[in-house]
Amino acid sequence: MTSLVFTHEPDASRYTLRRGTDLLSVLDYRDDGTTVAMTRAYTVPTFRGHGYAGEVVDRAVASLEAAGDRSVIPVCWYVADWFAAHPERAAILHERRSA
């Protein structure tokens, strides 16, 4: 079985998860230099139901945690749900300031 390959494609503002030549899942984002707004997690319909969206989000968050210079804004509902299910990873979330 071919292993999963996680890639950051900054020119396309996305992270990808592939197996061999197959694109499995994509995580789109906007980076303003301080925060990364995760705008869309998408899994190719053929590959849905195998946890690939969660895997690409997990690896992207781990990459950002390792870099340590950005916080995350979970714009996409899936990413927000992922953080709700992984409260131990919440330290990277961007803190909203009240007016």
Q: What is the pLDDT of residues 13-42, one digit of tens each?
A: 999 999 999 999 999 999 999 999 999 999
User: Residue 69 pLDDT more than 80?
Assistant: yes
The distance in angstroms from the start CA to the end CA of the chain is 52
Residue 98 binned pLDDT confidence (cut-offs 50, 70, 90): low
Residue 60 binned pLDDT confidence (cut-offs 50, 70, 90): very high
Mean confidence (pLDDT) of the chain: 95
Please give the model's pTM, rounded to 2 decimal places: 0.93
- Domains, the chain, ranges and CATH? 4-92 (3.40.630.30)
Over range 59-84, report the average pLDDT. 98
For residue 67, count CB atoms less than 10 angstroms from its CB and return exposed for 0-12, middle for 13-18, buried for 19 or more: exposed
